[in-house]
Copies of this chain bind each other. A is one copy, B any other.
Amino acid sequence: MAAPEKTTQEAIVAAGRELVERRGMSGLTMQAVAERVGVRAPSLYKRVRNRGELVDLVVETTVEDLARELRHATEGILDPREQLKSAANALRSFAHGRPKSYELIFGLAREASGLTRTARGRAVAPVLSACSALVGHEQALDAARLVTAWANGFITMELAESFQMGGNVDRSWAWGLERIVRAL
């Protein structure tokens, strides 16, 4: 007799996403996920190969969310400089709203899977196209790296509380963003 299916991979990934944001990366344990989906920990291994694969699935779905928000932020804007600013601001909003997820996606504590990397590529596509319009396709890649490195670096330092000399962080963000897009 078949035992009834008590959960799905989708539910497991959703539970994983919640746990990451609520309790951080170390809160994403197989036991905690199992409890949330109403099953014992060993049963999770029927849906995911191991914890690493679960983490990958969490990352991929989260990167898809981010990619959607970045697309949304740039569509309908004509000036490529304004596209870049809007994308950067959307990235920062995402990070403020879901800091643990941001850390999971862009932090380097984890070696990224192939799927994660293609998803990340899709997320930055709007940035690349804006840069291409600004500096030409020859230097588009260099320019996109300048923008993404700065934005990601700024946000990472902000989340890590690395800005410890006071001052107005929002002002530093706007000041930097203005100079970055003008430098292109």
Contacts and interface: CB of A to CB of B under 8 A. Distances in A.
A161 B112 contact: yes
A128 B161 CA distance: 17
A107 B159 CA distance: 10
Contacts of A134: none
A37 B108 CA distance: 29
Contacts of A112: 160-162
Contacts of A45: none
Contacts of A167: 141-142
Interface string A35-74: 0000000000000000000000000000000000000000
Interface stretch (A2-10, A15-23, A79-87, A146-154): A146-154
A77 to B, nearest CB: 22
B149 A145 contact: no
A90 interface: no
A176 interface: yes
B108 A145 contact: no
A172 to B, nearest CB: 4
B149 A153 contact: yes
28 contacts: A25-B109, A103-B108, A103-B109, A106-B157, A108-B160, A109-B109, A112-B162, A117-B161, A120-B164, A121-B164, A121-B165, A128-B165, A139-B175, A141-B166, A142-B171, A142-B176, A145-B172, A145-B176, A146-B172, A146-B180, A148-B157, A149-B154, A149-B176, A150-B153, A152-B153, A156-B156, A179-B183, A182-B183
